[in-house]
Amino acid sequence: MSGFSLDAAAAQRFDVNLSILFTELPLLERPAAAAAAGFGAVELWWPWTDSPTPERSVLDALRQAIEDAGVQLRGLNFYAGQLPGPDRGALSLPGRESERFRANIDVAADFAQSLGCTALNALYGNRVDGVAPAEQDELALENLVLAARAADRVGAVLLIETLNEPESPRYPLVTAPASIAVVDKVNEATGLGNAKFLLDLYHLSMNGEDLPSVIERYAAKTGHVQIADNPGRGAPGTGSLPLEELLGLLRKQGYEGWVGLEYKPGDRPSTEAFEWLPHEARAAR
């Protein structure tokens, strides 16, 4: 497996997504496993797919596990339904799921604040049969405004993510411009300016986008970056994406934020899926 040069890796700040890596372990054991692998920062999808408002004891247990491991929580998703699974988000879904998203907003924001997390990701949601796209988009904007205000209250940015059409054919934000348009609408509605683009190089590459062009156009509006190689959504070096080059271009365009490792470890323990990354480059900075 090819890897990053030490100089290139050291120029980045990497965190590990504990919802796709270390999933062979129970949730509360994953922060310590990431720390044992040399990482100082982690991110998470909303861990409780059936509960946007878990009991305080459940939240406290995860908070304690993260604190005991000595890692930083750098990113957290709002409630997004069954993820991984058939869902892609909840905030644009009329009825029960939208209500669950709204109930989760302050719970997720307060949990993020308690751990110093400054990035909250709001996944849009699939199109629904029998509901006009414009109706879903209106609901989405209402909920994103609420989420942006809650994020601002706790000193966080609100992230809007592009997914890929082959894997998420009913998700409406499958181009970078589509997500940027939502970012701009939320910022216009709130006046806060804290809505940002989540630039996921795997999803964008699956959509066939010109990645250097996307970076050059939207780096200034990017609040977080995630990577996986393509094809396969594996570790860097398992596919054909020039990830070192692309992250270098992001730096040249002024991006100084975190890069989330959101890839599948393959048929091996997650601890063996990081040989591409020099150990010296894994600590939080």
> Which residues are annotated as catalytic?
161, 262
Q: Are 144 and 122 in contact (CB under 8 A)?
A: yes
Residues in contact with 56: Cβ distance below 8 Å, sequence separation at least 6, in sequence order: none
Q: Residue 84: is the preceding peptide bond cis (ω within 30°)?
A: yes
Return the half-sphere exposure (C-beta side, CA atoms, 13 A cut-off) of residue 32: 9
Enclosing H/E stretch for 178: helix 176-190
Return the half-sphere exposure (C-beta side, CA atoms, 13 A cut-off) of residue 224: 30
Instruction: Provide Rg for the chain, Cα atoms.
Output: 18
- Give whole-number Cα distances, 285 to 63, 200, 221, in Å: 20, 21, 22
DSSP 78: P
